[in-house]
Structures are given as structure tokens and as C-alpha cells.
Structure 1
């Protein structure tokens, strides 16, 4: 199989292809916490800002922190002027909702940041991949580990992560977040934009990484050329003491 070798812009591919796949997760978390007017929300690892945009549409006062500068710049172009996105965690510690939707994946911030920015009693949402048997993307995650020549991750215990951060878990949920792509090339670009394959791309030939992703997508290609990967994501709600 010949790799697509389409020029990639990871931040733009995340914004245009991949970020929308997590909309059900964002909606479920916001509905559970009653995010709306009067909520002061901070999104850590906020990507290119879609989750922040959704919270702002609910009437919340929102801000974001994102360690990838290209994503910061894209977020600033798509968000209202009242929404600030910075590469660093704000010094303000008065947020009553803090989200870390990528707590088990690509993260730029540590557990201490979760509590430093939140007021007493604030809700913190940690999210990540669901059970391996419920995630069609699981073989791609293992592929990323193999290509990066690293031991497969056992997965992140979000409840334990919350406790290590000094938080008190109070609830949890699972949300279906299927990954649907218009074609194989879009699927490759979207998956590469997640950051899961960054170490693999650094460790080996990028064309080989792309070729192996395409081969791993074979079970999920439909007759019309689209790619459909059912996934379940987990989230934990915790409180700041």
C-alpha cells in the first residue's frame, strides 16, 4: 500500500478534523456539572478551543491553557475576544470548573496545576480513553507504542490520578465518541494530529508511520471509503478540598 504522504499541519488538522470527535464528551461533562452563566471555567490542554467555545456558548466565563503554541494561535483566531488562551496556566486561582479532557493522553500540565487554579469546592474533570475492548482506536495506540519502541501503556487510572493531585473523586461516566472520517487520508491526518504518534514519528521514518497507520485502519474502512471507529471515553469528576 502506498502511503498518502499528504503534507500535515498537526494543529490545523486537529482543529479541522479531530477535535470535533470529542464533542459528546465535552457536552456530557458540561451537562453533568451544569456549566452555564456564572460558571468560571478553565480548560487545561484546551487544544484549538472547541471545548472552550462550547462552554462560552452555554454562558460560562472561560479561559484556556495550551502548551502547543500553534494550537494557541489557532484557538485565538476562532474564540471570542473575551476568551483568553495562553501557553501557561493562569495565576488566577478562582475557577470553579477546571477541565483536563486529555488527562490520560497528550498533556502539557501536571497534577499540581489542577488544584492551583481552582477555588475550594471547585469541580475538576479528568478524561481519557475508555476500556480497550470498547475502543476501536486501541490497536492504533499499541501501534504507536511499537513504532516508538516503548512499552505499551497500561492505561491511566483517572480516579487515582485525581487522588494524587489532592482531589476527592465524586463521580464518573462513560461517553461514546466515535471517530468518523471522510476518507483514509483524513483519518491518517486526524490520528497524527492527536500527538499519540509524535514519539513514533521522531523514532522512525514518518512515511513508514503513515503507511502502518493506513494498514491498521483496514478493518474500519467502509465500502464508500469512509472510516468509522467506535470509541468510548471515560471521565471522572473530582472536587477540590
Structure 2
């Protein structure tokens, strides 16, 4: 297929998402903890589960799965993030690699997740087909993406970086492209998965101070790309302005965020 010839992006994404790896692990990754818990409950993850997280970052989801007794593996583009994942789950297998070419055998896992990761692949459809390949027949695959942006407070933080980003290629999907239920179902179906259900999880972002909020927000690969195209000072300024409506009396911040998950069967 022609779309398989698109360039892969692990080397690019690995540098971007690993630029502030420790801040990501200590501040921002946990903002989605509620989603990890809901996904594992929905899938019935437990001691007999062989589990793979693609785009596993610093391994928080993998750590939770391991604490529930699952046999855990993970893949990410960033060696810096994987170093932290290995600290957290010493019994897991963590590999650096491409989402479009997973280094695992066919029919290996009972449950495969992509928590806000598959859309960052050079070719998301090929990446999702790879998750199906490594899943056992009848196994569960979960895709997490942003919830509907309308009315979501966190969408303002995403929008704040738009003026600092390089111009996207023509026809490139935006960050909320898969938030639409029909688009998400079509994405799964195109990879040969059978959609089971879509569910939303509220997962508010909480920061105790402006300094912590700025460190957390600039630790994403998206923020790193914006900083490379402008400057880290510009990224901090954009985030600080966008944060102001959410400041509490104690000078901390709570920003409402929602994530959409599709659970499918391989």
C-alpha cells in the first residue's frame, strides 16, 4: 500500500517527547491516571493478562498494570522516557521502536493500549494495524484520544500553542480529529478491529503552582515542537496566559479535561 511508504517518525518523536522526560513522568503523565484505571477496569486486566502499552511514555500505565499482576511490555520512541519506565517496572519488557513496526510476534497479547499515542505515528492506520497483529485473536485493543473539545477547559491550553507551531502539512489531522465518535469508529474499522464501545473519562489536570504547571505543560512533545519553532520562553508565556482563568485562591490550578476511549476486539 502506498500509505505504508510514509516516513516513520520515532526518531523525531523520541527527541520531542524525551526533551523534559522527568517533568513528564513526575507532573504531566499522571494527569491521565483516571483514564488508565478506567481502561483497565473495563478490560478486566488482572494477573492472567499479557499486556502491551504502545507509546508507553514513562510507564505509569504499565506500572499500574504490573501492580494488578499483569505481564507487562511497552514500546516508546523516547529512550529517556523508557529509562524511567524501567525504573518503575523492573520486570517489564520495554523497547524503543516505531509504532508502525512493533517488535513483537503475532498473536502475543491479551490487551493492547494506545493512550494518546497512535495519532502521533507517521501513519496512524498502519500503527493500529500493528496493534491488531500483535494482539491475540479476540483480544482487546483500546485507543485513547481527546474528548470533544467544545466546552473542554484543557482545549484552551492546546489552542494556546497553535500560533507557535510550524505550519502543518496540507490535510494533516488536528489534535481533536479522532474525538468525533464516527471518525474514531472508522479509524478502528480501517485497521480490521471490531469496535465494542466508546466511553469518556473525566481526568482534570491539577497543579499546585504556576511553576509546576509550566513544567508539566512544556514536557509534552507538542510543546517541545512549539519551542523548537519559537522558543521555550514563548511556550511558557502562552501557557501562562491560557492558565489564568483556572487559577484558584491558593494559586494552584484545576483544568477540566476529558478523554475518549474506544474499546475494540481484534
* TM-score, length of structure 1 as denominator length: 0.90
Deviation at 1:92, TM superposition (A): 2.4
Regions of 4+ moved over 4 Å: 104-109
Whole-angstrom CA distance in 1 between matches of 2:135 and 2:194: 13
Whole-angstrom CA distance in 1 between matches of 2:237 and 2:53: 34
Q: In the alignment, is the contact (CA less than 8 A) between 2:51 and 2:112 conserved in 1? A: yes
Aligned with 2:256 (options 222, 230, 235): 230
Q: Match of 2:81, SS?
A: helix
1:18-37 matched pairs, under 5 angstroms: 18-37=28-47
Q: In the alignment, is the contact (CA less than 8 A) between 2:118 and 2:128 conserved in 1? A: no
Deviation at 1:191, TM superposition (A): 1.1
Change in Cα spacing, 1:9 to 1:202, as seen in structure 2 (3 Å) is: closer
Cα distance per residue 1:98-156 (max 9 Å; x no partner)? 00011465457722321121111110000011111242110121222221143682522
Q: Which moved further from structure 2: 30-39 or 110-119?
A: 110-119
Whole-angstrom CA distance in 1 between matches of 2:196 and 2:161: 33
Deviation at 1:207, TM superposition (A): 0.9
Q: In the alignment, is the contact (CA less than 8 A) between 1:135 and 1:231 conserved in 2? A: yes
Instruction: Give the length in aligned residue pairs.
Output: 232
Task: State the partner residue of 1:135.
Answer: 152
Whole-angstrom CA distance in 2 between matches of 1:223 and 1:72: 37
Whole-angstrom CA distance in 2 between matches of 1:24 and 1:189: 21
Task: State the partner residue of 2:143.
Answer: 126
Unaligned runs of 5+ in 1: 1-7
Cα distance per residue 1:199-237 (max 9 Å; x no partner)? 211111221121111111100111211011011111000
Q: Which moved further from structure 2: 105-114 or 47-56?
A: 105-114
Q: Which moved further from structure 2: 218-227 or 103-112?
A: 103-112
Task: State the partner residue of 2:4.
Answer: none
Q: Match of 1:197, SS?
A: helix
1:199 equivalent in alignment to 2:225: yes
Task: State the partner residue of 2:211.
Answer: 185
Change in Cα spacing, 1:9 to 1:197, as seen in structure 2 (3 Å) is: closer
Deviation at 1:31, TM superposition (A): 0.5
Cα distance per residue 1:162-204 (max 9 Å; x no partner)? 1222211111111110000011111111111122222211111
1:91 equivalent in alignment to 2:110: no
Aligned with 2:134 (options 117, 128, 132): 117
Q: Match of 2:260, SS?
A: strand
Unaligned runs of 5+ in 2: 1-17
Whole-angstrom CA distance in 1 between matches of 2:118 and 2:164: 20
Aligned with 1:159 (options 175, 185, 198): 185
Q: Which moved further from structure 2: 160-169 or 10-19?
A: 160-169
Task: State the partner residue of 2:7.
Answer: none
Task: State the partner residue of 2:11.
Answer: none
Q: Match of 1:38, SS?
A: coil
CA RMSD between the two structures: 1.9
Whole-angstrom CA distance in 2 between matches of 1:40 and 1:220: 40
